[in-house]
Amino acid sequence: MAQPHSTPKPIFTALPSSSPILAFITFLCVSGLYIVYHPTSNTSTTPNRNTPTTTTLFLTSSNNYTISSYLRDLTLHPHLAGTKASLETVKYVENHFKGLNLETHNVEFEALLSYPGEISLDVYLSDGVVRKLELSELGYSGRVVVPYHAYSPSGSVFGKVVFVNYGREEDYRVLEALGVNVSGCVAIVRKGEVFRGGVVVRGSENGIVAVLIYGDGDRFNGVERGTVMKGLGDPLTPGWGGVEGGEKLGWEENEVKKRFPKIPSMPISAENAEIILGSLEGVEVPYEWRVTLHSKVGGVGAGPTLVNFTYQEQKKVVKIHNVFAVIRGWEELDRYVLLGNHRDAWTYGAVDPNSGTAALLDIARRYALLTRSGWAPRRTIVLCSWDAEEFGMVGNSRCSLY
């Protein structure tokens, strides 16, 4: 973490300096007196340092019951960054740190996030049947944000579907060699090792007009939401941490727009993908693709199946919150050991991020036990609970640049 270079909020500034000389003299007097009366012991103002006893206390105070109760509280509802539900979770973490008497900071700032508006996907099968696909997971419509890709542009496309395997450049070369013209088509891509944002960009470079990504062989029929933005951090402050009142770019500037894909995209379930893939015809799926493929794919296309995919993006500048607990070091006050995890969760988030946050809260509880016994770490420890990570490390980037 770099030291602040402008005049940021005083999160990591030194101790308050109300008459330091007087305090120092008082300290000398008190410790002098103390040493006189307790010649062999330490001074009372020196914090307890790490000893086998503090280490044992820290390790044995680990507790599954507290962690599981934090996890339960955190997973009661999703908390998408910038929403009211998210604010409740901010308060939960902040109150936890404060309740432990830890020095707590709630650093709030604005960032450009992206939410879904109207979304629809209609499949036009070759026999004339039109199917309007249900996009939310069964039973979760309205409770969890509809599956979407943050920073996907709005768009409505009506075109033939083509299956492009993992959507890598080599996959497009295979299709080209097979004589498949993907230009003007909607691509269905199986999720692989490649970052989804890169998959969308590669699609548009190859003439694709929209991208639908699914998890091949996903037995749970889950849908992977996520960002398709290129790079990390608030798109309006590319490469620097947006401090309050600091420089920000406009939405329409090139530096901002080049971080978003040019064509719309969306994640879909394996079941929905199969409805479309099973109805494709044309060239047979190449053997190399087929050996690891779980879904039934009629052919790579293009077509005859058509889809009408409509996506409406809502960009918003919203308040997001990084919450910190600071435990001051006794020797190297200005050196920080950061322990952190993001807090925002688009769905229930029991694994990512809430299990990590539950562990972070329990570590805070255990450090508080030690500080109550007079212990202090050698370097300053900062427990960090970052916001808006799922949008592209928006809160995390802000912290590390601060």
Ligand X SMILES: *[C@@H]1O[C@H](CO)[C@@H](O)[C@H](O)[C@H]1NC(C)=O
Which residues contact ligand X by CB under 6 A?
62, 64, 120, 156, 158, 181, 183-184, 308, 310
Instruction: Give least dist CB 124 to ligand X, A.
Output: 9
Contacts of 195 (CB under 8 A, 6+ apart): none
In the complex, what is the shortest distance from the CB of residue 117 to ligand X, in angstroms, rounded to a whole number?
11
Give the 3-state secondary structure of residue 203. helix
d(CA 345, CA 49): 37
Tokens 């979760």 found at: 140
The angle at the Cα of 224, spanning 121 to 169, to the nearest 5 degrees, equals 80
| Residue closer to ligand X, measured from CB, 121 or 399 | 121
Whichever of 123 and 270 has its CB closer to ligand X, that residue is: 123
On the CB side of 280, CA atoms within 13 Å amount to 29
Q: How far apart are the C-alpha atoms of 123 and 288, rounded to whole Å?
A: 27
Query: What type of residue sits at position 263?
Result: I
DSSP-derived 3-state class of residue 378: coil
Q: Provide the minimum distance between the beta carbon of 338 and ligand X in the complex, in angstroms, as a whole number.
A: 25
Choice among 94, 274, 389, 390 that is catalytic: 389
Nearest residue (CB) to ligand X, 21 versus 59: 59
User: Min. distance of Cβ 370 from ligand X in angstroms?
Assistant: 17
Choose between 108 and 176: whose C-beta lies nearer to ligand X.
176
Spatial distance between the Cα atoms of 390 and 290, rounded to a whole number of angstroms: 32
Q: Is the peptide bond before 153 cis (omega within 30 degrees of 0)?
A: no
Task: Determine the 3-state secondary structure of 71 from DSSP.
Answer: helix
- The alpha-carbon radius of gyration of the chain (Å, integer) is 27
When the beta carbons of 310 and 357 are compared against ligand X, the nearer one is 310
To ligand X, the closest distance from the beta carbon of 306 in angstroms equals 9
Candidates 307, 225, 218; CA nearest to 271 is 218
Give the contacts of 190 (CB within 8 A, at least 6 positions apart).
165, 166, 213, 214, 215, 216, 273, 293, 295
Nearer Cβ to ligand X (31/61): 61
Query: Strands, DSSP E only, in 287-391?
Result: 301-327, 332-342, 379-386
Neighbours of 335 (CB within 10 A): 11
- 376 in Cβ contact with 47 (< 8 Å): yes
Nearer to ligand X, 42 or 156 (CB): 156
Closest distance of CB 139 from ligand X, Å: 24
Question: Is 137 designated active site?
Answer: no
CB nearer to ligand X: give 25 or 130.
Answer: 130
Across-strand partners of 379? 332
CA angle 45, 42, 54 (to 5 degrees): 80
State in angstroms the smallest separation of the CB of 264 from ligand X.
Answer: 12
Closest C-alpha among 266, 262, 286 to residue 276: 266
CB of 242 to ligand X, least distance (A): 35
Cα 301 from Cα 324, distance rounded (Å):
52
Catalytic sites, residue numbers: 389
